[in-house]
Structure 1
Amino acid sequence: MAAAVGITEFIGAEMIEKAISLAWKAHKTPEKPFILEKNRKGDPQQVFISFPASGSAKDWYSQKPFGEVPIDLDLFPSLKSIGYNDAAKVNEAFQGRFQAILSKPLLETEVKDAMDKKRQIVFTGHSSGSPMAILATLWTLEKYPSTKSNGSVPPICVTFGSPLIGNHIFSHATRRENWSNFFMHFVMRYDIVPRILLSPLSSFDQRFEAVSQFFNPNHKLKSFMSESVGRSSHTTDFFSVVMSNAAKVTSHAVSKLIGTTDSTLETIANFVPLSPYRPFGTYIFCTGNGKHVVIRNPDAVLQILFFSAQLSTEAEVAQVGNRSLQEHRTKLQLNFGKENFVFLEQDQLEKVPLTDDGSKDDISMAFNDLGLSPRARLCLRAAAGLEKQRLKNEERMKEKIDSDEFEEKMKELEKYKKVMELKNICYYDAFKKQESSEDFQANVKRLQLAMLWDEIMEKLRSYELPDEFEGRAEWVEHAKRFRRLVEPLDVANYYRHLRQIEAGTYMRKGRPMRYKFTQRWLEHAEGCKFEEEYSESCFWAEVEDLSHITNNATSIVNASFDKDVLDRTQQRVARLVARIDVWIDNKVLDKDVLLEGSTLMNWWNSLPSQYRNGSSIKSLVKCKETR
């Protein structure tokens, strides 16, 4: 219960009421991109920015069936899956509207002014104004990262009746970046709008354009219902279509939650497109009787969006169909007493009572208020169970990587590297030659260590680890140490067996996910754009590739290769040498790579002068001699 109260403590009851007021006020000036008000009484002082909604179909669906597109990574570089480097999908119409707002300097100017003055920005919106508030918040979080040292205050987003906006990667990325808690979505129990984008535009025919006019709070309810005799049936049919599609999405989702595959559902999914949109952030479901149910688990939120609007009888369809639009138009009235907020955290979801046992405790009453059936409660347990299993999987991986056995193998490889250096040979070259038992034992350790990281990669691929996993500093550090020590051995093994002849270069065809993913983790943590070419752990692959290209320098110069090839090769050589210099200065690459007779030095010494123009490895050798 204390966590539930934290919702109002975090943003304040007064702040929520102000957000509600401004969200509705924005509807009165749809010609403006947003309205702004400042509150200088608080600490920190606050700036409210509210966006108007639109009832036009083109501002909801840009194309069939669902209108999703990759998010603009120039504006939102963090909204991606780090490992796979896949951009989140977002509603194209919503993104287009936000880009249009941002193309004019007004919003950026106001945000910069507030952030420079250490004021807290509260973005808010109702209906399709909410996605603008969401994207503005994410854009601000990207552009003005908050740290303890800079004293800035992160923005907050408060939405009312917001439609869904992004796919599972969108939700995954916001949790990974620890941004989810900055988003509060208030939803009335029957409000249709948070469920609309679970349906393709094609399922509505002409009904969406007619019903969407009703999303505008300025539209007159009585005139809407009396414009034609069949208008009420439009809302009933509209509600039925949305909930029918929501049923398909949630049923398919829950089959994955419980780890079973229903052949019928899979067949439907193959032939009938399912909505990609998923919830994210904190949801506050308003039951209509003064109770507010707070939940953060996105899988559980999706199930509640469907089951809380379920009907007991067919006779209720017409009544609830109209109510689903009326609730969207109703200005939210919140009861801020402590007893009126029920927080369904992980522990509560795991212990959800499957039936109404007559209990009068807050949680039991909350489930009754939302009208959740035994099946709905079972689905919520499944959502909690999946999250629990993800945490257990991470803990199990952590136990393995922290184990004495794992650490011993890492230390043995580090010892192997030092021993080879004492023998005046780079461990990359020693491993590639495989001339001693020490090399054989190093290969055994390489394979054993790779097995654990491959297991981690497989769990990442199937989303069996928490969303926050790739962003945790401890895993970034574990992965960095492993990659820098072990990947050179993988490169050496690849070229030792001449796999490049049939398969192609290591970087194009041979590099395992365990290195691609973990390199991206580090680059993301350090705020770098993904290099993708090569890093300090696999620069040997670039050396091998360039060595192959330049091993017959005479034929290259004598027109077997055209000038463009020569120029590109010279540029690659210069870039590689510059990077090696930086890596050694930053102590992320050891000086053994510069030992006489190493693959690097042999290659460099064999290069004709035209490849060395503008580059010098002498500074690197000098660097080695002075350390």
Structure 2
Amino acid sequence: MDFDFQTTPRFSVGRELAILITSCGILDKTWEEICHVAKNGVEFSLKEDEGVAYVTFPSFSTEDFNVTDSRYGEYNIENEKIISVCLKGTDDKPALVHKGSFNRFLRILESSDFKAKVQGLKAQAIIFAGHSMGGAVATLATLWFLQKKARNMSYFCITFGSPLVGNAILGEAIGREDWAGKFCHVVSKYDIVPRMLLAPFESIAKPLNAIVPHWGRMMGINNVATTHLSISEAYKTLFEKVLQCTSTIANNYPGQSGVRSPYRPIGTYMFCSTQGAACIDNSEAVLKMLHFTMEGMPSEQLAVTCASDHTGYGQMLEAITKNFLNPTPIANCATDSFEIGIALELETMGVGAQNQHASLALIQAGKVKKEQDMNIEKLNEDLSRNQSHMAEVEWYKGKCKKGSGYYDSFKVRHDVGNPEYHVNMARDSLGKFWDDIVEMEEKHVLPSDFSFQNKWINAGTAYRRLVEPLDIKYYYCTRKDNKSYLSAGKRPHRHIVLEKWMKEKDQTRIGRDKKERTKFASLTVDSCFWARLQDALQALPNLQQEQDQHQVMNASLQESQEFENYVWGMIRDKSISVEIFLKESSLMIWWGYHRQLQSPQWRSNSPLFNFMAYESWK
């Protein structure tokens, strides 16, 4: 979103998206199916209509939802082998989900014909939907089928009044898989459920158990247990406990970070009120709006308002449609187009255009988005300009194909007329460019999914595989000690980060589905190959000296043998470039020494010996 007066759209994207989602009728249809399954008293329902399958989950039971063995009911998703390994953080920390929601999902998944029925659907699109705690189950079911998807089918999740499901790591993993756009959470202004897990579970368990039967009766469900706790008292307690915690989060009170709930919003949130609706997909902005949209609740109507907002989404959708057709004018609004957009969002969410704290939250999210977009635009231009440097290195690599290869040919030259001088300048310029990108990503001034985007992963991987060999050679030509390039602090941070991005992408479902290579790589996949080779070469004099003195082969020979196994593994996977087999290359020098040190028995057992003897790379 651009903040410039001349170029910014008059209406905010969030409001337009809400209009689009509401006007297509999918929310009304989904809510209708949810109400139907709730009244039938079943755990889930499947229905196909015009090529779309609706898989819906009801709520109104706290049997599974009550969790007492952790402060917020959080649960390590890796404890069960149900969800794929892809749902973990970039630092391998596991995602956390609410244990009660997860237990209910597991019960449905394992004790019914749920899997068979969903997998047997013929529809081209499946919408998983749920209300209240059923919305959390719908979210988990969507995740399960997304990572198990075996055929070309679209999956989407719509929830109404759903509690939060997972922590920031889960959100990060969903973003990495490019699934965030598949989740839409509809939240009424005074619905307490989407906010309640921001409070410690022990503080809300008792009032929640009293309120749930009341919700069931309001929706016409008769088979719900009753309670003796006053409904008004229960609503008041629940509201106060939750509001206290949302206020701490929304206002960033100092010294309170240690008691914050681990749960974070995931996907797009559509905040609704009788004035309309607006969509927000920025997790931090959603977190704050969960507080600001609720904080003005009138205390004298608290119980009635909370109950009707949680159970009356059908009436809410009708009111939203009417208000989109007849929008309420905004009084005393600024003339700036961006501020008008923010004011419209606040009015339609029922917060009010004059709420400065809420306005600041959306403005901040907009500013962050603008800064990120501008940074991406500049990086795209810089990436295009740096293609000439990549072409320079590519040209040099091709030039050296008939000699020893570009790694062995490269030397640090200072005379301008020499090709190595220009290649070294290109190497240096590319290093600075990627240093800047890594620094920006680590400072969080780029989109949160930047390091998961194929464009930048592919560009970074191509750069690393082409240029890092020259960085390695430069290091060994200019080093002032005898330390390996692979020792701590020697390898440039940019290469470590770019390799990490690639490995993280390979952990995604798409990455794991990559086909095996059928021919050798154009660039050696392990960009540190030449550093490992250099270390193996440095060990050779020690090996020769030990043999001359008839000493027992020690760790040095073991190191050379490990390098042989490493090379063979890359050959077997075809992840190595054939230029390493040029007659004058460092690898061939190593191989000449290495094979002389081996026993006759080694020749018959070594697959690498046969490969090299028959020149099988040709």
Q: Quick check: 1:158 aligned with 2:158?
A: yes
Q: Where does residue 574 of structure 2 map in the other structure?
A: 583
Q: 1:109: Cα distance to partner?
A: 2.0
Q: 1:195: Cα distance to partner?
A: 0.8
Q: Where does residue 83 of structure 2 map in the other structure?
A: 75
User: Can you list the C-alpha shifts for 1:531-553, whole angstroms capped at 9, x where unaligned?
Assistant: xxx94322234434555667655
Aligned AA for 1:299?
Answer: E
Specify whether residues 490 and 97 from structure 1 end up closer, same or farther in structure 2 by C-alpha distance, changes over 3 A only. Answer: farther
Q: Where does residue 4 of structure 2 map in the other structure?
A: none
Does structure 2 conserve the Cα–Cα contact (< 8 Å) formed by 1:163 and 1:197? yes
Specify whether residues 569 and 69 from structure 1 end up closer, same or farther in structure 2 by C-alpha distance, changes over 3 A only. Answer: farther
SS of equivalent to 1:267? coil
Q: Where does residue 413 of structure 1 map in the other structure?
A: 393
Following superposition of structure 1 onto structure 2, how do residues 232-311 of structure 1 map, counting pairs within 5 Å? Answer: 232-252=232-252, 265-269=253-257, 272-287=258-273, 289=274, 291-311=276-296
Q: 1:453: Cα distance to partner?
A: 1.3
Q: Where does residue 71 of structure 2 map in the other structure?
A: 64
Q: Where does residue 425 of structure 1 map in the other structure?
A: 404
Q: Where does residue 227 of structure 1 map in the other structure?
A: 228
Following superposition of structure 1 onto structure 2, how do residues 346-425 of structure 1 map, counting pairs within 5 Å? Answer: 351-353=338-340, 363=345, 365-368=347-350, 373-403=355-385, 406-422=386-402, 424-425=403-404
Q: Where does residue 607 of structure 2 map in the other structure?
A: 615
Q: 1:595: Cα distance to partner?
A: 1.5
Q: 1:66: Cα distance to partner?
A: 6.0
Q: 1:240: Cα distance to partner?
A: 1.7
Aligned AA for 2:459?
Answer: H
Specify whether residues 581 and 375 from structure 1 end up closer, same or farther in structure 2 by C-alpha distance, changes over 3 A only. Answer: same
Q: 1:400: Cα distance to partner?
A: 0.8
Q: Where does residue 262 of structure 1 map in the other structure?
A: none
CA distance in 2, matches of 1:413, 1:301: 46
Percent of pairs with identical residues: 25
Aligned AA for 2:83?
Answer: L
Following superposition of structure 1 onto structure 2, how do residues 103-502 of structure 1 map, counting pairs within 5 Å? Answer: 103-104=110-111, 106-114=113-121, 117-144=122-149, 152-201=152-201, 204=203, 207-216=204-213, 227-228=228-229, 232-252=232-252, 265-269=253-257, 272-287=258-273, 289=274, 291-311=276-296, 316-317=298-299, 319-320=301-302, 323-325=305-307, 327-330=309-312, 332-333=314-315, 334-335=317-318, 338-341=321-324, 351-353=338-340, 363=345, 365-368=347-350, 373-403=355-385, 406-422=386-402, 424-431=403-410, 434=412, 438-439=419-420, 441-495=422-476
SS of equivalent to 2:164? coil
Q: Where does residue 506 of structure 2 map in the other structure?
A: 523
SS of equivalent to 1:48? strand
Aligned AA for 2:392?
Answer: E
CA distance in 1, matches of 2:114, 2:293: 37
TM-score (structure 1 length as normaliser): 0.76
User: Can you list the C-alpha shifts for 1:164-208, whole angstroms capped at 9, x where unaligned?
Assistant: 122334334434544233222121211111111222346x2xx52
Q: Where does residue 519 of structure 2 map in the other structure?
A: none
Q: 1:401: Cα distance to partner?
A: 0.7
Gaps of 5+ in 1: 253-264, 357-361
TM-score (structure 2 length as normaliser): 0.77
Does structure 2 conserve the Cα–Cα contact (< 8 Å) formed by 1:536 and 1:583? no
Q: 1:307: Cα distance to partner?
A: 0.4
CA distance in 2, matches of 1:551, 1:611: 20
Q: Where does residue 520 of structure 2 map in the other structure?
A: none
SS of equivalent to 1:421? coil
Please say which of residues 435-444 and 239-248 is displaced more in the overlay.
Answer: 435-444
Does structure 2 conserve the Cα–Cα contact (< 8 Å) formed by 1:283 and 1:295? yes
Aligned AA for 1:139?
Answer: W
CA distance in 2, matches of 1:349, 1:539: 56
Following superposition of structure 1 onto structure 2, how do residues 549-560 of structure 1 map, counting pairs within 5 Å? Answer: none
Does structure 2 conserve the Cα–Cα contact (< 8 Å) formed by 1:233 and 1:318? no
CA distance in 2, matches of 1:109, 1:495: 60
Gaps of 5+ in 2: 1-14, 328-334, 515-523
CA distance in 2, matches of 1:171, 1:571: 40
Aligned AA for 1:466?
Answer: P
**Aligned positions, number:** 568
Specify whether residues 219 and 419 from structure 1 end up closer, same or farther in structure 2 by C-alpha distance, changes over 3 A only. Answer: closer
CA distance in 2, matches of 1:541, 1:441: 23
CA distance in 2, matches of 1:61, 1:492: 58
CA distance in 1, matches of 2:351, 2:107: 41
User: Can you list the C-alpha shifts for 1:133-191, whole angstroms capped at 9, x where unaligned?
Assistant: 1111112112216xxxx6x2312212111111223343344345442332221212111
CA distance in 2, matches of 1:552, 1:618: 26
Aligned AA for 2:592?
Answer: N
CA distance in 1, matches of 2:100, 2:490: 38
Does structure 2 conserve the Cα–Cα contact (< 8 Å) formed by 1:37 and 1:49? yes
Specify whether residues 599 and 466 from structure 1 end up closer, same or farther in structure 2 by C-alpha distance, changes over 3 A only. Answer: same
Q: Where does residue 7 of structure 2 map in the other structure?
A: none
Specify whether residues 434 and 621 from structure 1 end up closer, same or farther in structure 2 by C-alpha distance, changes over 3 A only. Answer: farther
Q: 1:501: Cα distance to partner?
A: 5.9
Specify whether residues 559 and 539 from structure 1 end up closer, same or farther in structure 2 by C-alpha distance, changes over 3 A only. Answer: same
Q: Where does residue 537 of structure 1 map in the other structure?
A: 527
Aligned AA for 1:106?
Answer: D
Does structure 2 conserve the Cα–Cα contact (< 8 Å) formed by 1:62 and 1:93? no
CA distance in 1, matches of 2:112, 2:563: 40
Aligned AA for 2:55?
Answer: F
CA distance in 2, matches of 1:365, 1:218: 28
Does structure 2 conserve the Cα–Cα contact (< 8 Å) formed by 1:137 and 1:157? yes
Does structure 2 conserve the Cα–Cα contact (< 8 Å) formed by 1:476 and 1:518? yes
Following superposition of structure 1 onto structure 2, how do residues 25-36 of structure 1 map, counting pairs within 5 Å? Answer: 25=39, 28-29=41-42, 34-36=43-45
